[in-house]
């Protein structure tokens, strides 16, 4: 997959996007372009363009990161248990290109019970 070489990504991504997706970084809260974004459409992986989230499941969690109650297609991501900072978190990665997206928590406000807390830097947006 030629788009997925580190060198190509270096050219395609901003330094912030590279740090978040390739080095498991976290953008500062309230700094990203999508936490306060309510257009209708799909959020895609900034690295490989795979569709990840729909604006229909986006909600304002007050955390300063884009938050979703569900994945558009659950098979498009992989979830990894991460034991760090003394507690267990579940990391969310793009299944296609392995980009780090964010984390998922079990305190979501809708019937899914999930809160996908995702970095704006991991996402791009397609209006529909
Ligand atoms: Zn991807």
Q: What is the pLDDT of residues 59-103, one digit of tens each?
A: 999 999 999 999 999 899 999 998 877 878 999 999 999 999 999
Ligand 1 centroid to 36 CA: how many Å?
A: 22
Burial 59-73 (b: 16+ CB within 10 A, else e): eebeebbbbbbbbbe
Note whether 71 and 112 are within 8 A (CB).
Answer: no
The answer to whether residue 1 scores a pLDDT higher than 50 is no
- pTM (two decimals): 0.92
φ, ψ of residue 13 to 5 degrees: the values are: -100, 155
CA of 85 from ligand 1 middle (Å) equals: 26
Strand-pairing partners, residue 67, are 59, 117
Q: Which residues are catalytic?
A: 117
Kindly report the length of the chain: 128
CA 100–ligand 1 middle distance (angstroms): 8
Query: For 84, what's the count of Cα atoms within 13 Å in the CB-facing half-sphere?
Result: 8
């Amino acid at each position: 997959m030629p788009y997925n070489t580190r060198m190509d990504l270096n050219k395609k991504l901003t330094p912030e996007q590279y740090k978040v997706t390739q080095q498991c970084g976290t953008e500062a809260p309230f700094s990203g372009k999508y936490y306060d974004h309510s257009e209708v459409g799909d959020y895609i992986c900034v690295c490989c363009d795979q569709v990840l989230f729909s604006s229909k499941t986006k909600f304002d969690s007050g955390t300063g990161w884009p938050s979703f109650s569900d994945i558009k297609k659950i098979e498009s991501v992989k979830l990894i248990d991460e034991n760090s900072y003394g507690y267990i978190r579940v990391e969310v990665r793009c299944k296609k290109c392995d980009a780090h997206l964010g984390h998922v928590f079990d305190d979501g406000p809708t019937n899914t019970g999930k809160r996908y807390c995702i970095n704006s830097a991991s996402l791009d947006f397609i209006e529909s």
